[in-house]
Amino acid sequence: MIGTVFIGYDAREDEAAQVAAFSLRRRATCHLRIYALEHRLLRRLGLFTRPWRIDKAGQFYDEQDTRPFSTEFSHSRFLVFDLAQRLKTQGPCMFVDCDWLFQADVEPLLMETAKSGEEIGVVDRERTVVDGSTKMDGMVQQNYHRKLWSAMFTFMPGAGLAERFNPTDVSKATGRDLHSFLGMDDTKFWPIDPAWHFIPSLDQKPEQIKGIHYSEFSPWINPDKFSLYPDTFWAWEDERAAMVQQKAKQKNLRIYDNLEHDLSVANA
């Protein structure tokens, strides 16, 4: 089986995205294609045209719906359905934010996804925040239906999803509508084991942690916050150290696959 993973990429968190990819690849017992969802490349390819601006404090504002947002991939993540079609992907796919650390083999999750048909796999959890409150890096947060569902989800490629989340609509729909999956019925989702989406400070520690989401604070931005959660801090630090060591041994260590090249080959 070949699995395809799209990682949300923000230039401000380059190392975090690399660690997420490294943690996935080195534990996987199946072949993975891992792509960084970099908005500049998507714009150059004509797949993402959504305009935004950045104020003096570094806050992003979407000029399509005028609302603030927090990462470079806040909206572009919903292009993954279309990208999977363009890549002629046959196997299961996953999107995940860059602020993640995987501590288990992702193959069982992808195998489960392969049986899901047209349903999208999500960790079914609701999170309510106050509109205008700030995240760990000072970015303004927005509250919306199904918040955190879009931080990690899996799916099988299909024309229906690609048409629903086509590049035109992803560039024009409001951020609130996109993160609610454009009003898709609840029956179109299936539940992923919450152990894949453990958030320190919000969740009780599961028997096995399969994935850590550093949503509230992160080792690379807020190391001082981890006095209460040292295990999750050192888990990320150890993974980063392992990546650095492997890079030193293997000069051409593959972190990501080349999305532009693979799109070109698929559509040649």
Look at 226 and 61; give whichever has higher pLDDT: 61
User: CATH topology for 2-47+74-129+141-266?
Assistant: Spore Coat Polysaccharide Biosynthesis Protein SpsA; Chain A (3.90.550)
Q: What is the pLDDT of residue 137?
A: 47
Tally of residues, the chain: 268
What would the pLDDT profile of 212-244 be if each residue is shown by its tens digit?
A: 999 887 888 878 777 777 888 899 999 999 999
Contact 243, 22 (CB under 8 A): yes
Chain-centre distance of CA 3, in angstroms? 15
Distances (CA, A) of 253 to 22, 46, 75, 131, 245: 10, 29, 29, 41, 11
Q: What is the pLDDT of residue 22?
A: 98
- Of residues 187, 188, 191, 177, the one with CA closest to residue 145: 177
The pLDDT mean for the chain works out to 90
Angle made by CA atoms 106, 207, 116, in degrees to the nearest 5: 35
- The model's pTM: 0.91
Q: Which residues pair with 52 in a beta bridge?
A: 62
- Of residues 51, 25, 82, 213, the one with CA closest to residue 136: 213
Distances (CA, A) of 169 to 1, 76, 91, 175, 199: 31, 11, 25, 11, 31
Q: What is the pLDDT of residue 142?
A: 56
Q: What is the pLDDT of residue 126?
A: 64
Q: Which residues pair with 36 in a beta bridge?
A: 7
Two structure tokens written together for 36? 């960084």
Residue 102 belongs to what H/E stretch? Answer: strand 100-102
The domains of the chain are located at 2-47+74-129+141-266
If you average pLDDT over residues 190-212, what whole number do you get? 91
